[in-house]
Structure 1
């Protein structure tokens, strides 16, 4: 067997109904190449590895879990990438889908890592702490709308699929979980550059209680800052608003 490591944010799924729902959500998108992040004890891996016509890989940092998976599911030989997703290079050539019960302590970092691969990742089906899942899906004006919401929604449509109870895990986490699906937008809104857009969004939300005029003052010429939009707060701006403003930033 294996042990649970709190340092890696491990909570393993034990509810087979939830596993099947996640797998069904993945199958409905008809992936040809599929990466599972954090397979752990293999709760959904055992279904994913046998999907017909799908080239499957899993990425797992924990030595003990890698050994357990290889011993329990010999067919995973040569399909496990033994490292952290945060240090990984692109695992496939061409498009691939991503699925995972993402470790809660680095789930936002994982999303930002996937954004680096967005040209190759059309669909992500992931389980997150419910608060994080809601934040990713949050609309402008919401108290939980922030950096993660804007940066993800600039490139992906977000759908909140279903809640997952604490009792579906071993050990039960202290928080509820949620499964979301991200589908890459066919047309991405025009922005000066991804880097410029990202700097603007992070700067704006870094002081979210201030008006935009005060929060992002160093990024814009003084004349531009007189525009009425700078009297709003960051949470009141849409993705399109941030994208449009990126063109007016000082180079």
Structure 2
């Protein structure tokens, strides 16, 4: 009912895990409803994981989970609706007029504060494991909201890392994690760094260039710093 029977006109976005629809709840609140694409054990597990993680979180810069339903044919998650879409769209979609200037730095401070909360303030530390500009939403005041906790994991206080199958988005992945399969909070911090550089430069994490060493935005940024030509790559 909220999504008009999952009307295609209500689609806000689609990803590997599922499709997100805009809907209105019975109490009048606008919501985003995520519907799983595939009915398989791994997919349901990610949905349940997201429910478990988000019910433990209360932070202004992390998307809120309103409701969930795991009894339907495919799982459904119901979030607060974030009207201005993804940070990725505002940085890279050439059809959009990117009106955020120095606010980019405020957005970055908000994301870093949310990550610090996940790593250090919650009763059990949480690693997000897929920080990227497409998973950062912007509300009506262009405040950052971290979303998509399907890959997130709790860690005990005495744990130094998680040993897992490498998961994440190429370009944002920490090379140490990529090589060792051992994820630490530094993996989130590295991904955050790539988001920050993307905000500063307006460039994608994987660059279109013939020079192999400059294809990684992170590598290109570090070289520019080393050669003292950083301002050449910053967004005007």
Same fold (TM over 0.5): no
TM-score normalised to the size of structure 2?
A: 0.33
Higher relative contact order (Cα pairs below 8 Å, separated by 6+ residues): 1
Q: TM-score, normalised by structure 1?
A: 0.31
Q: Which has the larger radius of gyration?
A: 1
Q: Higher helix fraction: Structure 1 or Structure 2?
A: 1
